[in-house]
Amino acid sequence: MPNLEELQREFFRALLLPLRGSSRNSTELSSSDEGHSQEFFRIADEIIKPGPSLTSAERLELYHRQYWFRILDSLAEDFPVLRKMAGDEIFWELIEAYLLERPSQSFTLRHLGEAFADYIETSEILDETRKQWFGSVAKIEYTFMECFESAQSALPEAEDLATAVIELQEHVKLLHLPVPADLCWEWEDFSPAASIEQQPVDVAVWREASGRSRHERIEATELPLLVRLKQGIRLNELFDSLSDPVPSEQDISRWFAQWHGHRWLGVRGKIGKDELDLTGGWEGMDRMSSQAVPME
């Protein structure tokens, strides 16, 4: 008789098998008349006893269906902009293919989409243009979740700026994207105009005091300063070692004001108060996904 660990392993192996038959009708996946594999029925017969009204396979199907319903919904909630850009048919095809190739590997659904962007960039479902754009959108949206659960260090005060090591907050993430996919947040559908320069861009993603995540384009001459701040540095050293092309004093002053206003800067070694700013528009969250939305 299999021990508990073997039973758990077989049970999870059955859950990972594709969603089949009528169960798909309750999802956004394309319909299919294909039934379960012989592997599914074998596992059911070996580890589950039949009940008064359900066979072993039917009882296993209940768990299998709920597992797939949950992970499909969770992943879809985490990538709303990608869904809008890709359209439902392609989006759900991508999600199913991704989950079959890379099942959940964490105790939390928060990390379910951590490799989704990489998968999209190599997917045979998409052409080369969409691989770059959709993969970049997915990268931004997953980074929203990383920002949401990152730590907050103390915001610098006047005396800190003169003496302390200043660094970017942990929740500030710097992304290098092959295309300007940050523009997709302004579009109703995927329609990059010929006038758009499809060249690499750098984007910062961070968590606002309200708890929401935002992203913003970074200027080319601004990026080296942010990279050094990410590592931690005293400000006199930061500004004494500027590389070519050297930004103007006006640019540095403008950037610093933006960084401070966005709460990007922190003091190394000083724990900050990670409190929600209720004046910033916090409206609550109705699900454990990356997107904070009004609660009904």
122 assigned to some structural domain: no
Residue 175 lies in a domain: no
Question: Does residue 15 form part of some domain?
Answer: yes
Residue 196 in domain: no
Nearest-angstrom CA–CA distance, 138 and 115: 9
Listed range (46-50, 243-247, 291-295) with the worst mean pLDDT? 291-295
Residue 31 domain flag = yes
Confirm whether 29 is domain-assigned: yes
Give domain status of residue 16, yes or no. Answer: yes
pTM across the whole model: 0.87
226 — pLDDT class (breaks 50, 70, 90): very high
d(CA 201, CA 194): 17
> Amino acid identity, residue 132?
Q
How many domains is the chain built from?
1
Q: Among 113-122, 221-230, 244-253, 265-274, name the one with the lowest average pLDDT.
A: 265-274
Question: Quick check: is 30 in a domain?
Answer: yes
Judged by average pLDDT, the poorest of 4-13, 225-234, 267-276 is: 267-276
Range of the domain at 23: 1-78
